[in-house]
Structure 1
């Protein structure tokens, strides 16, 4: 027997979705039945690979990691309203991160007398029947739709993916009642295929010649031009173009709250990372007379560190320059020009205009800027080297610093990976209050070599590593998730490491264990620097700490994987901490590379 679920699953596969991250429920009988039919007909295989996920947020986050690495949407299947709600913060992340994902949720049956296949036969189906299930997620989605018949399922799926993969990319949500998915169809309906190429994504938009020339001339005529970017590196081909623009005009580049590599770390005009805490923006912002903002949600915070009032500001965004589609409430930048243009085509246009007009401008000023920026970059790197190599004077009882740990990690990876470098390494950065330090000290060169969620909901890094591994197809020698201890717990490690073992997706986890949630404490100090909270003796007293008896994070992973994962805590007490971290990190990397198992290193740092 074939059903609308047969058509649905065939259409998913025809649309190019190779992986479905599934959390099954009472609304999915026909889907489970058809998947078993596929296995019986195809030597145990299904058209799309099914990844069983014991937690919905983990499922969506793994799909996000898959799409971030491949650029291809994955699908997620969840259970009615409760499964939809359980995706929670991951929904925020795929929206704000502009990640194309297709989410499907079943819904309770609408019939109750047995008059249709799939009618209500369990008590939960009454209490899970809500008036508008899609309303739970609609403001985060690019598109929502109910599938009302198997006959229209292919068209609904193709339309959803067409929207999800058009700028600004993002998640889409489909749902259907159980009777609809149980609807019987004939074989011809299942075999009928709709060509994916008939449902193309919107072609990327270029800058107008006027905009490209205006921006290029402004940069060439500026005394202190400045480039701010956050997400331009999501398009890997844009990375060398931004580096070329910076080189041609001698422009400093800063990455503000980045989600991807903007330019190679070693580029002499790259001046660092900032997450805008306090007055942490680059000093170039206050000096700049022309600012080019590329794919950035928050280029600066006007109330704490604005640009100079007379600065000429140009904003380029790949699909949503006013942040209306991604549903940001209050948002404004004092800009001379707002441009809706694909970042790759925009940089091609600006670079071509710069080359056209460069001969008419003073090369001496540009050379001076290049020299000054190269010196600034060199001094910055030297300061990072100093932080990594400066250990506490008492190695027996002191704590390692974050730069100590990350310096050892980076060098160990360079020594132990087959290519002896970082060219085939993927870093998933969920350091949160330590975001900038991870960017600083991992020193990523390769486009796509380091990513974040692009959102602010914690718990992304672990499951995203699974999805990235599945999507990479052996592209990376090593995948490293660097997370805070809070992020580790938010990531539902009990589900993550079970999935990792079942589907053989080994990755290295570095837990930056500072004893709790540092970010809420920093937010409090930002508002009340000398208040009562500033005098709290510990994070535990302030209720943001996990001490004095914090979890053994590495052993959570070991237990969840039934002993398959390797786990160790380092830096807690006793012994030479420098030697301990060198030994522990070397063993953790070795386990992943040679034994193809997950390794989790719980790195104890100074407590909050």
Structure 2
């Protein structure tokens, strides 16, 4: 056995480890010889076959980055992704958009072709691909999505280059960073003493969160105190579990209704009377109180309303608060009419507002009477919302439109399905449904799923935060690994979840590269339940068309003819997972053609309940993945 050689790659991995990065999601290539050698050195010398960071092999790069995103979202800890030169960087695909828009810190590293070709340096070019992969500006592939990009030039600068990138990634606006290096740079040999000198990130802290100015806090608090119909709109305030508590306190104090606009996190417990529901801003879907609100606090929301669909009154006082980017400088066109725009951390700002309101209650005219009346209205509105959801969940299975002379087929509504799922989880898990992590990529069914889950705990529902489909499956692998080994976001003293559930559309399932995701789930034993909402195609593009051409040529044709459908022969999605995991995953298909024989509605509902419970049991007791392909009414 050869003696150990230490390189810039040794310093690189040691720096990541000392910075607290426990997992690296990797897809190796010809640019990584020194990294592979260093990892094997660690295994040999430790005698445990373990490495730091832990390496997670990912057969697909988008799945790798989605897994790192899910890991960070579920734990609050940054992970690393390592990919192969320009082609691996390109293969990160839409996941780059998601980590950017969701403000998720991820450390991305890619190698690059060697710069020498005649043996001048260790790592010099020795394969034909190193010529065609040597492009003029590799970083340009992802630069506009990154918080920071840099090249590692030499071994001696590795530590500082990596720590600067991590410091930027974990400061607001949080997000991905991208480093790259030539082969020769990562092969540079160093003494073991340099390895021992690598320190933690003390001296490299993230930037402290900003607060409202005293004037802004007083102005906004006074407006809320004097308002007749105040309103709070948020989208992703729940990225901070502390902020959820602060929002709950302020909403309770003044009985202010809260709208979740295009949410990507749990921002307010469902049971709170201020919870008014969810909107993804389609025409007429906003809360009816938007138009009558006289003071609106928009806090951590990418888009509170679409002016052409639903909008507040022209005389409404609007205040915008965002902890990182209140002007959305990376969005080409964005504007919300506002009286005041503030850069302030949500938890800090809401705490300031609550303190100012509490100290000023004696000065507000008729405050108690106004708040008392508003509280009655808010509670009645919430009770009505719950009643509507209850009615939707009790809908029984129904017949699909008949096809030619075939026997009728049956399916169920999404609210019915989600209701069965939620109640089954509550009955079958130790926490009664409290310690569950849901990953929601249901797209055209977002509103029904968000409200149907009725979640209470901050951090228990996540979405991609962006618009590139395919996040859910990889994110589930990363979230499962993270929760099990590091801990749950907001409760780092606890590890693991009773259950992790991914809810995806059939389009999202295929975008998620299931052959890679379920292979990873099997390899790293990350069991999760997947619910596929199978409506036979891409419903969202059809809805987009109908939004512009409501009575056009395409308005009355089926999805397959419109080229957005997957029929008539759609995949059996559950069996894709079974095959990808070499038979380890469990799969079932319900609804539509899976319910062949004629049964009563009550019998079909019993079948649905039984299948969901079987799937939960497989995941929670047998520790295997389970996939339920739920055939809905086709687009």
TM-score range, shorter chain: over 0.9
Pick from 9, 30, 45 the counterpart of residue 5 of structure 1. 9
Pick from 231, 238, 242 the counterpart of residue 243 of structure 2. 238
Paired position in structure 1 for 2:26: 22
Paired position in structure 1 for 2:416: 404
| Residue 360 (str. 1) matches residue 363 (str. 2) | yes
Paired position in structure 2 for 1:599: 626
Q: C-alpha separation between the residues in 2 aligned to 1:489 and 1:358? A: 55
Q: CA deviation at 1:577?
A: 2.3
Q: CA deviation at 1:115?
A: 1.5
The alignment's C-alpha RMSD in Å is: 1.1
Paired position in structure 2 for 1:434: 445
Paired position in structure 1 for 2:534: 513
| Residue 166 (str. 1) matches residue 171 (str. 2) | yes
Pick from 548, 561, 575 the counterpart of residue 527 of structure 1. 548
Secondary structure of 1:203 counterpart:
coil
Paired position in structure 1 for 2:589: 569
- Stretches of structure 1 lacking an aligned partner (at least 5 in a row): none
Q: CA deviation at 1:475?
A: 3.0
Would the alpha carbon gap of residues 392 and 587 (structure 1) be closer, same or farther in structure 2, given more than 3 Å must change? closer
Q: CA deviation at 1:237?
A: 0.8
- Stretches of structure 2 lacking an aligned partner (at least 5 in a row): 401-407, 485-494
Q: CA deviation at 1:394?
A: 5.7
Paired position in structure 2 for 1:247: 252
Matches within 5 A, 1:248-327: 248-324=253-329, 327=330
Contact 1:571 1:580 in 2 (8 A): no
Q: CA deviation at 1:278?
A: 2.0
Contact 1:508 1:599 in 2 (8 A): yes
Paired position in structure 1 for 2:463: 452
TM-score by length of 2: 0.94
Paired position in structure 2 for 1:463: 474
Matches within 5 A, 1:136-175: 136-175=141-180
Contact 1:278 1:526 in 2 (8 A): no
| Residue 589 (str. 1) matches residue 594 (str. 2) | no
Instruction: Provide Cα deviations, 1:143-201, integer angstroms capped at 9, x if missing partner.
Output: 00000001100000100000000011000000000011111111111221133111000
Would the alpha carbon gap of residues 431 and 393 (structure 1) be closer, same or farther in structure 2, given more than 3 Å must change? closer
Further displaced range: 26-35 or 576-585: 576-585
Matches within 5 A, 1:540-555: 540-555=560-575
Contact 1:226 1:292 in 2 (8 A): yes
Contact 2:397 2:605 in 1 (8 A): no
Paired position in structure 1 for 2:343: 340
Secondary structure of 2:475 counterpart:
helix
Q: C-alpha separation between the residues in 2 aligned to 1:481 and 1:195? A: 35
Q: C-alpha separation between the residues in 2 aligned to 1:429 and 1:81? A: 31
Secondary structure of 2:440 counterpart:
strand
Q: C-alpha separation between the residues in 2 aligned to 1:546 and 1:514? A: 9
Secondary structure of 1:476 counterpart:
coil
Pick from 208, 214, 220 the counterpart of residue 213 of structure 2. 208
Secondary structure of 1:198 counterpart:
coil
Secondary structure of 1:305 counterpart:
coil
Further displaced range: 103-112 or 351-360: 351-360
Instruction: Provide Cα deviations, 1:96-117, integer angstroms capped at 9, x if missing partner.
Output: 0000000000000111111111
Secondary structure of 1:483 counterpart:
strand
Contact 1:400 1:577 in 2 (8 A): no
Instruction: Provide Cα deviations, 1:406-436, integer angstroms capped at 9, x if missing partner.
Output: 11000000111122x2210010000001111
Q: CA deviation at 1:285?
A: 1.1
Secondary structure of 2:303 counterpart:
coil
Secondary structure of 2:502 counterpart:
strand
Q: C-alpha separation between the residues in 2 aligned to 1:51 and 1:380? A: 44
Pick from 31, 39, 43 the counterpart of residue 39 of structure 1. 43
